[in-house]
Chains A and B, each alone.
Chain A
Amino acid sequence: MEPVILSCAELSTREINAALAALPDGACARVLEPRGRHNLAVGLSNRVRIDIEGNAGYYTGGLGQGPDVVVDGFVGWSVGENLQAVPGRDLAEGRDGPGRRERRSHERVHGTGRCHPGRR
């Protein structure tokens, strides 16, 4: 299935998240130009794959159960927080990681774990 393309340059965060929530299981989506937006791909319960292509903000991919979220870039605090079920995964792929906090921000989170990158 061709990925659905959603651009933050054109859509609000609510519009992006509503479009992601409406995807059928097995679908893929690419989120372009995230521009450090907070709350991208949160609250999802469908089995979809979401690629966020760029730097994202706080709470990325959190409060979910089902989607695989991959961020190619830097993320803010509380990425992948409160993933509720085994299928839920949140993968943040950092472009660089000179320090501990940043590596934590980019760590891969599988399954049910709670993840508090950068939180102290």
Chain B
Amino acid sequence: MCGIIGLHLKNPGLAPRLGGLLTEMLDAMTTRGPDSAGIAVYADHEGDALRYSLRSDESTDWNLLARRVAAETGSDVRVEPLGSDSAVLGSPAAEALVLAAIRRLAPQVSVPGYGRSMAVVKDVGAPAAICARYGIPGWGGYQGIGHTRMATESAVTTAHSHPFAPAADLALVHNGSFSNYATVRRRLARDGIRCDTDNDSEVAARLIAARMAEGADLEGGLRTVLKEMDGFFTLLVTTRTQFAVIRDSFACKPAVIAETPDYVAMASEYHALAGLPGITGARVFEPMPEEIHVWSR
């Protein structure tokens, strides 16, 4: 079992409350996944810099790393510490250059996600504690997704936690389990696409990213999962502009969507949505098997 939640705002007036609302939703899903949790939050930022969410379990001098990445990539780098073990690094340089520089200069640092709009934090422990540690309730933005994990197929570590965000501004959370993910992972490896972990959900995220890199839109990427991957899944996948939900052919895993003029919200169980503003007037429904629901800003 796992819990997933997401909120896509249509009314910019709610933007300052996004982090607080996501935190409450995620906390409500603790019963479905107390092992670990993570969240991807999208907000508008000035300029074209890509923002890299960094994480290190070893003590890391983020300012020193930023200066060294700046020297290596030949462009300005900004860094904002985030809690004791994380930071967000902004750089206008090409993503491959920056990712390679971080990998070489600080091999202990992982990059849970990056993009022009998206920041990702994830960790082992109770969802509410994780959100509090990174100050998520104070974050603003226009959409976010989150996950509470009850691990069934791979280890409980930060790296195995969701969201999986293998491409710029692309994030995925998954409730369920895939059965042929090792086969798909080998297929991806033949195309030069490597997974960081042995987690099944990461394979789905990388498959979607691969199809989108080839030119597919988000819906096309999700159709590829239906076609190529066996298993149970409710997936919530976001890009910089889109918010999408898909369920497997048997709708084995729960999903509830609530839509109002102000937002679209999704969760594994309705009670995660019950505290949202205006929820009593929302249109509440369960997405059908194999249906893809996409909202765009």
- Which residues of A are at the interface with B, using a C-beta cutoff of 8 A? 35-38, 54-58, 73-74, 76-77, 95-96, 98-102, 105, 118, 120
Contact = CB atoms under 8 A, between A and B. Distances in A.
B284 A74 contact: yes
Contact of A74 (B250, B270, B275, B288): B270
Given A74-B284, A102-B286, A36 B251 contact: no
A36 B271 contact: yes
A70 B272 CA distance: 22
B22 to A, nearest CB: 17
B251 A74 contact: no
Interface of B: 250-252, 254, 256, 269-275, 280, 283-289
B271 A118 contact: no
B284 A76 contact: no
A22 B58 CA distance: 58
Nearest to A120: B250
B256 A74 contact: yes
Helix, strand, loop or mixed for chain B's interface?
A: loop
Given A77-B254, A101-B288, A120-B250, A96 B283 contact: yes
A111 B256 CA distance: 28
A36 B269 contact: yes
B270 A99 contact: no
A120 B251 contact: yes
Contact of B284 (A38, A55, A58): A55
A100 B284 contact: no
B36 to A, nearest CB: 23
Contacts of A55: 270, 274, 284
A104 to B, nearest CB: 10
A73 B273 CA distance: 14
